[in-house]
Amino acid sequence: MKTLIVYFSWSGITARVAKKIAEFLPADLEEIKCPEYKNLFVVFWLMLFARNKELTLAPLKNNPADYDLVIVGAPTWAGRPPRPVIIYLNRYARQFKQVAFFSTSADPREQQVLKTMEAVSGKSPVAVAHFHRPAVSRDSFTRTVQEFVQKITDSLPETSRATP
Ligand SMILES: Cc1cc2nc3c(=O)[nH]c(=O)nc-3n(C[C@H](O)[C@H](O)[C@H](O)COP(=O)(O)O)c2cc1C
C-alpha cells in the first residue's frame, strides 16, 4: 500500500507526529508550506484582519492521486485547521482514494479540527487521532500513534496491508 502523510506544522509538533507515524507505516512525507506565513505576527495579522486574503502553497513534491492512502495532519489554530490545510484539502481531496486525519492542539478537548477536515474534504476517514501538545513534547505519544496505525491497517483489505 502506498501511503502519503501530508502535514502543516508551525512549531514542529505536528511534524513530529507525522514522522512517528511513518516509523510504523512506511510512507512518503509532504510538508505543506505557505510563503505568506513569514512569522507568527504575520500569521496572527492574517487570521485577525485578512481572513479573505488569498494564500499560496509552496510547490508540493507528491501527487496524492498516486497513493492508496493519504494521511493529513494539522495543528489547531483558533479551533480550526490552519488555512493552508484547508486550501490543500479543497484542491486535492477529490483525488484521495482513502484518507485518515490527525490533529494536534494545546487544549486536549480541542478536537474540532478532525471534523472540519472531514467536512472540507467530503471524505469519511478510515481513522482519526488527536494528539495533545505536551504529550508529544515529552515523547509520550507512541501508543496513540500505534493505535492510529492499527486502526488504519485494520480498515484495509488484507492484500494491501504493509508490514512495517
Ligand atoms: C496561531 C495559533 C493558534 C492556535 N490556536 C489554538 C487553539 O485554538 N486551540 C488549541 O488548543 N491550541 C491552539 N494553538 C496551539 C497549537 O494547536 C498546538 O501547539 C499545536 O500542537 C502546534 O502544532 P505545530 O507545532 O505542528 O504547529 C494555536 C497555535 C498557534 C500558533
Q: Domain locations in the chain?
A: 3-156
- Is the CB of residue 93 less than 8 Å from the CB of residue 61? no
Ligand 1 centroid – CA 45 distance (Å):
15
Closest ligand 1 atom to residue 8 Cα is 26
| Residue with CA at minimum distance from ligand 1 atom 22 | 75
Closest ligand 1 atom to residue 17 Cα is 26
Ligand 1 centroid – CA 77 distance (Å):
5
pLDDT bracket for residue 156 (50, 70, 90) = confident
Closest ligand 1 atom to residue 15 Cα is 26
Please give the model's pTM, rounded to 2 decimal places.
0.96
User: What pLDDT, in 10s, does the model give residues 26-81?
Assistant: 999 999 999 999 999 999 999 999 888 999 999 999 999 999 999 999 999 999 99
| Residue with CA at minimum distance from ligand 1 atom 7 | 78
| Residue with CA at minimum distance from ligand 1 atom 29 | 77
* H, E, C per residue of the chain: CCEEEEECCCCCHHHHHHHHHHHHCCCEEEECCCCCCCCHHHHHHHHHHCCCCCCCCCCCCCCHHHCCEEEEEEECECCECCHHHHHHHHHHHHHCCEEEEEEEECCCCCCHHHHHHHHHHCCCCCCEEEEEHHHHHCCCCHHHHHHHHHHHHHHCCHHHCCCC
> In testing the pocket of ligand 1, which one of 76, 85, 109, 130 has its CB within 8 Å of the most ligand atoms?
76
Verify whether ligand 1 is closer than 6 Å to residue 121 (CB atom): no
Looking at the domain that runs over 3-156, which CATH code has it been given?
A: 3.40.50.360
Pairs from 26-29 (Cβ < 8 Å, separation ≥ 24): 26/162, 26/164, 27/3, 27/71, 28/2, 28/3, 28/4, 28/61, 28/62, 28/67, 29/4, 29/5
Mean pLDDT of 148-156: 95
pLDDT bracket for residue 108 (50, 70, 90) = confident
Closest ligand 1 atom to residue 105 Cα is 17
Verify whether ligand 1 is closer than 6 Å to residue 84 (CB atom): no
